[in-house]
Amino acid sequence: MFSSRTPEDLTPNRLAEALKAARAEGRTILDLTQSNPTRAGFEYPGDLLRPLADPGGLTYTPSPFGLLDARAAVARDYARRGLAVAPERIALTASTSEAYACLFKLLTDPGDEVLIPRPGYPLFEHLASLDRVGARPYDLDLDAGWRIDFESLEAAITPHTRAIVIVSPNNPTGSFIKSDEVDRLAEFAAARDLALIADEVFADYEITHEARAGAGRLVDRDDVLSFSLGGLSKSVGLPQVKLAWIAAAGPDRLIDPALGRLELICDTYLSVSTPVQLAASELLERGANVRDQIRRRVSANYERLLQKAASLPACRVLATEGGWSAVLEVPSVYPEEALVVDLLQHDNVLVHPGYFFDFLHESYLVVSLLVAEAQFADGIERVLRRVGVPVASHE
């Protein structure tokens, strides 16, 4: 009766089961996977959402890509980051996830494929499968600072490949794509008639100062068809407000038909509310306050993680250039899954195992840098205590 877009087996994984059990027992779990900014103790200005009540929202003016003023506000936000983008090339969506769904509809037929980075964000496989698209991984090379392994990219291409997804900075590796990599990727994609989807939701969050300056961008180049994604969810910490965007770029012969077809897709759903479009400009400007708090938190937690892990030579914090997560390499004394379940059951701390993100081998733990600082320090101490004790005591 049901489509194969959703999996047949909906059984929760072992970690999810263990978490449910721990909560049912009433235990307080220190959640180092918390990536919801609205629950991480930031001070949101009390009147931040006031522009959503603009009486202009009482009139509905359907517009496939969104009201031009809202698209112009997004263009100004690109200008803040030193990038010139025409509002006419910006399409609004309710979320970045929805932006992927629109782009998969634009670029693929059922059975086609898109290439996704590995390690990477687990949601891509679901997003692709919901649109009947296959998601094939290409590798990022840890030893090369998570640069794209072009050999694996080439090997992942099949006659069904339609697009390559890049995430900069990537979740969870925290690596920005470099400008020379973008040059090479653009040439690679254009030569094979592939489009590029550049997920830049974390672009504002550089941890190392030089990271953003050396990062490559697609939004202002015209040699390859590309779609850059961003949204309020991360850029100003407002995932519940539901506003994201696609900025299209590329050669004239492709950009016009691409925008024409994308417009038809967006017109079919018209999913972005009028109030949020009217509020976009103010939210983007005043949200800078929240963004600054998040930036400070993420950097402070990363520093703290480096300091604490330094006391345990068997552990290594992988270098993170940006984003909201960090990766801790720990001794592979027993399987990642057993370790994270142990951490939950014995230490009341929740972390993600590397295999959730498709790391090529074990053992990695992924933690969110968004967690309130005192809790983060406490949680990391618990993790290090457990991975630092002899294996016999894990039994």
Nearer to ligand PLP by C-beta: 228 or 339?
228
CB nearer to ligand PLP: give 112 or 199: 199
The answer to the question of residue 201 lying near ligand PLP (CB under 6 A) is yes
Reading the block at residue 242, the tokens are 């539901």
We find the least distance from the C-beta atom of residue 303 to ligand PLP, in angstroms, to be 22
Interface residue with ligand PLP, options 42, 65, 121, 138 (CB under 6 A): 121
| Cβ atoms within 10 Å of 284's Cβ, excluding its own | 21
Binding of residue 171 to ligand PLP (CB under 6 A): yes
Contact between 168 and ligand PLP per CB under 6 A: no
95 binds ligand PLP (CB under 6 A): yes
Asked if 367 and 171 touch (Cβ cutoff 8 Å), the reply is: no
CB of 301 to ligand PLP, least distance (A): 17
Q: Does 199 bind ligand PLP (CB under 6 A)?
A: yes
As measured in angstroms, the least distance from the Cβ of 244 to ligand PLP is 5
Binding residue for ligand PLP (CB under 6 A) from 22, 56, 97, 285?
97
3-state SS, residue 140: strand
* SS3 (DSSP) at 319: coil
Task: By CB under 6 A, tell whether 239 contacts ligand PLP.
Answer: yes
Considering only CA atoms, which of 204, 260, 263, 191 is closest in space to residue 235? 204
| 320 interacts with ligand PLP by CB under 6 A | no
**Any contact of residue 287 with ligand PLP (CB under 6 A)?**
no
The two three-digit tokens of residue 90, written as one number: 């910006």
User: By CB under 6 A, how many residues form the interface with ligand PLP?
Assistant: 12
Which helix (H) or strand (E) segment holds residue 187: the answer is helix 179-191
364 binds ligand PLP (CB under 6 A): no
* Per-position x/- string for 148-167, each x denoting binding to ligand PLP as judged by CB under 6 A, each - no binding: -------------------x
Residues numbered 202 to 231 that lie near ligand PLP (CB under 6 A) are 231
Measured from the CB atom, the residue of 315 and 370 that comes closer to ligand PLP is 370
- 75-83, 94-102, 150-158, 385-393 -> range binding ligand PLP (CB under 6 A): 94-102
Q: Which two tokens stand for residue 381?
A: 């101490």
CA 35, chain centre distance (Å) = 11
Are the CB atoms for 221 and 214 separated by under 8 Å? no
Burial class (CB in 10 A: 0-12, 13-18, 19+), 357: buried
**104 contacts 128 by C-beta, under 8 angstroms:** yes
In angstroms, the CA 60 to CA 196 distance is: 33
Location of structure tokens 């359907």: 62
Cβ(247)–Cβ(90) below 8 Å: yes
* Residues lying near ligand PLP in the complex (CB under 6 A): 95-97, 121, 167, 171, 199, 201, 231, 233, 239, 244
